[in-house]
C-alpha cells in the first residue's frame, strides 16, 4: 500500500497542477504567447511530433556520444587518480573548479574554437557529465575496503588484477549513481550547446520557436526534453537492474 501511494501521489499531484493550470488559462483569458494551456501544449506536441522527433534524435545522439566519452574519461582518470595519489591531489581540485564555470558562458567559447558542427555540443555534454561520473567513481574506488585487496593479493593477484577483481567491481555501484545524475544532465547539456549555435537539435528548435513567440511549441519542446532526460536516467536504472542483480535482492 505504501509503495502504491509513493507511485500514485506524484501522478495525482501533477494531474491536479495541470487541471489548475488549464482552469487558470481559461478563467483569466491568458493569451497563448504569455502562457499556453496544457491542452494547447498537447496539441502542439501532436502537430509537431515529426519535427520534434527529428530534432530529438540529433540531441539524443549528441547526449549519448557525450555520455560515452565522459564515462570512458572518468573510468580512465578514476583509475589513474586511485593508482597515483599525487595525480589525485593535483587533479581533483581542478575538476571541482571546472564545475563552477557556467556552461552558458563556455558554450559560445567552444563554438569559436570548434565551429558550428557536432563537436562543441558533444564537448558541452562532456563538460556537464564528466564531473558527476568521475567524482562518483573516484570516491567509489577510494572507499573500497583495503582488506578485500589484501585478500586477493595474498592469493597471488598483482596490482592490475586486483583492480579487475576487486576495486572496479566494488566501485561500479558508485559509478552508476554518477551516471544516473549525468544521464539527466546530458540532454540539457546538448540543448545548451545547440542553443548557442546549431542547425539541428532541440536547442535549435527551442530558440527558433521562442523567437517566433510560439510558446505552445516551446512548452512542447520542454516536455520532450524532460521526457528524454527521464528516459536517459531510466536506461541507466535498467542497466543497473540487469547488470547488478546482487543490489536488486537487497
Partner 1 sequence: MKLKVEELTFSYENRKVLDSIGFAVDEGEFVSLLGPSGSGKSTILKLLTGVLTPFGGSIAVDDRPVEGLSQHFAYMPQNDLLFPWKTILDNVCLYGQIHGSLEAMRREAKASFPEFGLAGYEDSYPSQLSGGMRQRAAFLRTALCKADILLLDEPFGALDVITRGEMQDWLLKIRRKLNRTVVLVTHDMDEAIYLSDRILILNQSPARITHEIVVEGRQRDRQWLYGQGELRKEIYDRIMAGVREVKTYDSSMAPQ
Binding positions for partner 1, rule: CB under 8 A: 145, 147-148, 150-157, 161, 165-166, 169-170, 172, 244-246, 249-250
Nearest-angstrom CA–CA distance, 224 and 124: 20
* CB closer to partner 1, 21 vs 148: 148
Least distance to partner 1, CB of residue 68, Å: 23
Residue 40 CB, nearest approach to partner 1 (Å):
50
Of 11, 135, 29, 126, which is closest to residue 77 (Cα–Cα)?
135
Given the complex with partner 1, which of 159 and 230 has the nearer CB atom?
159
Give the shortest CB-93-to-partner 1 separation in angstroms.
28
Work out how close the CB of 170 gets to partner 1 at its nearest, in angstroms, rounded to a whole number: 8
Query: What is the spatial distance between Cα 3 and Cα 119, in angstroms, rounded to a whole number?
Result: 44
Residue keyed to cell 571546472: 98
Please, which residue, 206 or 236, has the CB nearer to partner 1? 236
| CB nearer partner 1, residue 153 or residue 208 | 153
Rounded to a whole number of angstroms, the minimum distance from the CB of residue 137 to partner 1 is: 16
73 or 142: CB nearest partner 1: 142
By beta-carbon proximity to partner 1, the closer residue of 53 and 160 is: 160
Min dist CB 152 to partner 1, Å, is 7
Amino acid at each position: 500500500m505504501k509503495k502504491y501511494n509513493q507511485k500514485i501521489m506524484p501522478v495525482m499531484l501533477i494531474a491536479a497542477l495541470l487541471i489548475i493550470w488549464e482552469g487558470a488559462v481559461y478563467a483569466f483569458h491568458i493569451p497563448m504567447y504569455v502562457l499556453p494551456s496544457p491542452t494547447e501544449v498537447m496539441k502542439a506536441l501532436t502537430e509537431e511530433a515529426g519535427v520534434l522527433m527529428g530534432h530529438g534524435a540529433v540531441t539524443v545522439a549528441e547526449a549519448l556520444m557525450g555520455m560515452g566519452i565522459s564515462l570512458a574519461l572518468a573510468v580512465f582518470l578514476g583509475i589513474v587518480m586511485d593508482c597515483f595519489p599525487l595525480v589525485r591531489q593535483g587533479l581533483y581540485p581542478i575538476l571541482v573548479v571546472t564545475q563552477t564555470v557556467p556552461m552558458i558562458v563556455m558554450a559560445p567559447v567552444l563554438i569559436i574554437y570548434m565551429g558550428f558542427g557536432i563537436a562543441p555540443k558533444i564537448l558541452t555534454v562532456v563538460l556537464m557529465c564528466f564531473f558527476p561520473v568521475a567524482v562518483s567513481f573516484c570516491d567509489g574506488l577510494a572507499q573500497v575496503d583495503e582488506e578485500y585487496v589484501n585478500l586477493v593479493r595474498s592469493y597471488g593477484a598483482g596490482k592490475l588484477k586486483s583492480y579487475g577483481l576487486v576495486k572496479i567491481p566494488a566501485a561500479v555501484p558508485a559509478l552508476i549513481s554518477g551516471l544516473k545524475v549525468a544521464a539527466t544532465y546530458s540532454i540539457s547539456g546538448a540543448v545548451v550547446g545547440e542553443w548557442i549555435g546549431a542547425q539541428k537539435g532541440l536547442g535549435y528548435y527551442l530558440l527558433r520557436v521562442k523567437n517566433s513567440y510560439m510558446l505552445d511549441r516551446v512548452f512542447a519542446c520542454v516536455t520532450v526534453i524532460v521526457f528524454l532526460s527521464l528516459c536517459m536516467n531510466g536506461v541507466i536504472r535498467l542497466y543497473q537492474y540487469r547488470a547488478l542483480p546482487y543490489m536488486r535482492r537487497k
